[in-house]
Amino acid sequence: VAKARRKLRGLIAEKNCAPLMLRIAWHSAGTFDVATKTGGPFGTMRCPAELAHGANAGLDIAVRLLEPIKEQVPILSYADFYQLAGVVAVEITGGPEVPFHPGRQDKTEPPPEGRLPDATLGSDHLRQVFTAQMGLSDQDIVALS
């Protein structure tokens, strides 16, 4: 994990791509459905089917940037690696040090399209996705805002 952190710090600083790394981590995790226990950070963002989801436009760039580093740390799953990229992006932009716990399993089937919140659909939609689908509280929503 330490080697991956170092390499990710270098990549994010060199390419100035912290927002992109935060986005791939969020879009990976944001598909979780608490009712079905499906979706979430399982490394499926590397799959063409998930990259083709409308909300994921441009994340192919993140996947391409990350792949050379991922090849150097085969011990980490893609699921862990994409989340670690988000953790490092938070830290490198002056945010807090985020505890990281590896152990996520990779999957090959992406979640269905449409699980990420769509800000254009209004606050009722956002509340539905964050609370009913993801299982987050009002306090969580405020923290993410």
Please indicate whether residue 125 or residue 18 has the higher confidence score (pLDDT).
18
User: Which residues, listed in sequence order, are joined to residue 67 by a DSSP beta bridge?
Assistant: none
The residues annotated as belonging to the active site are 27
Q: What is the DSSP letter of 101?
A: -
Which of the pair, 15 or 138, is modelled with greater confidence?
Answer: 15
pLDDT at residue 144 is higher than 90: no
| Position with higher pLDDT, 138 vs 17 | 17
Q: Is the pLDDT reported for residue 138 higher than 90?
A: no
The single-letter code of the amino acid at 132 is A
High-pLDDT (> 70) share of the chain, %: 99
Indicate the residue type of 40: G
Which of 50, 99, 39, 106 has its CA nearest to residue 78?
106
| Mean pLDDT, the chain, integer | 95
Would you state the pLDDT for residue 36? 93
Cα–Cα distance for residue pair 60/20, rounded to 1 Å: 10
Rounded Cα gap, residues 4 and 31, in angstroms: 24
- CATH of the domain spanning 2-112: 1.10.520.10
Distance CA 86, CA 19 (A): 9
- pLDDT value of position 72: 98
Q: Which of 27, 19, 5, 16 lies closest to 81, judged by CA?
A: 5
| pLDDT tens, residue by residue, 51-109 | 999 999 999 999 999 999 999 999 999 999 999 999 999 999 999 999 999 999 999 99
Looking at the chain, which residues constitute the CATH 1.10.520.10 domain(s)? 2-112
d(CA 62, CA 100): 20
